[in-house]
Amino acid sequence: MRRRVLRFSYRDNADRVTVREVEPAKLLFKERSWYVQAWCRMRNNWRTFKLLRMDWESIELLPIAFELREAPPVTRFIGPDGAAAQSGSSGDAPRLSMLFAPESAGRVREEFAPDVIDVMSDGRLSVTVCCQLNERMLHHLFSYGVYLEVLEPAWVRNWMNDQARAMLERGR
């Protein structure tokens, strides 16, 4: 199968538009969104592009063939600018360790890569990733409710406990 370079306009999360030429490698699903993992010829590095930020009308299949490079593992963090930070080694992407109840297994498998999920003997799922722990991510984690236990970092566990207490107080 011949692999061909794609060109498209891409809008980052700061609303800046760039034209990218990429060598697509993988289609990924993360945090309820689809991404293309590709070698970016402009950045001369791996990038991960959110499909919804691509201008669909600008997509061109160029007559430039390429040899598929070995893509980084899907455990790499997808950053806001499409840049990937190595899991476990990035200074700006903290390590997040979690335990999920067996009842959440289907959702966990949809939202996390298989190579970051370990099924424990009691059926719980242990997940460790490196990701930006911004407000959006914290609220996403909180949506797991009683089915999630955050092991580290402690401040995330404390934040979730504080949120649960605040909800309980509002309901009284």
Instruction: Look at residue 105 and tell me if it is in a domain.
Output: yes
32-90: pLDDT as tens digits: 788 899 999 999 999 999 898 999 999 999 999 999 998 887 655 444 444 443 333 34
**CA-to-CA distance for 135 and 156, rounded, in angstroms?**
11
92-123: pLDDT as tens digits: 578 999 999 999 998 888 788 788 899 999 99
Task: Please check whether residues 52 and 117 belong to one and the same domain.
Answer: no
Give the per-residue pLDDT at 126: 97
* pLDDT for residue 91 is more than 70: no
Domain count for the chain: 2
* pLDDT for residue 163 is more than 90: yes
Give the per-residue pLDDT at 31: 66
Task: Please check whether residues 50 and 99 belong to one and the same domain.
Answer: no
Domain with 99 in it: 95-170
Task: Please check whether residues 67 and 99 belong to one and the same domain.
Answer: no
Instruction: Look at residue 86 and tell me if it is in a domain.
Output: no
Instruction: Look at residue 83 and tell me if it is in a domain.
Output: no
Give the angle 141-143-144 at the CA atoms, nearest 5°: 75
End-of-domain residue from the set 20, 44, 76: 76
End-of-domain residue from the set 46, 76, 106: 76
Instruction: Look at residue 163 and tell me if it is in a domain.
Output: yes
Give the per-residue pLDDT at 154: 95
Task: Please check whether residues 131 and 166 belong to one and the same domain.
Answer: yes
Over residues 118-129, mean pLDDT? 95
Task: Please check whether residues 116 and 60 belong to one and the same domain.
Answer: no
Q: What is the DSSP string of 11-57?
A: E-TTS-EEEEEEEEEEEEEETTEEEEEEEETTTTEEEEEEGGGB-GG
**CA-to-CA distance for 17 and 11, rounded, in angstroms?**
4
Task: Please check whether residues 29 and 57 belong to one and the same domain.
Answer: yes
Instruction: Look at residue 85 and tell me if it is in a domain.
Output: no
End-of-domain residue from the set 48, 76, 104: 76
Give the per-residue pLDDT at 125: 97
Model's pTM, two decimal places?
A: 0.55
Pick the residue with more confidence: 29 or 24? 24
Instruction: Look at residue 90 and tell me if it is in a domain.
Output: no
Task: Please check whether residues 134 and 166 belong to one and the same domain.
Answer: yes
Task: Please check whether residues 166 and 103 belong to one and the same domain.
Answer: yes
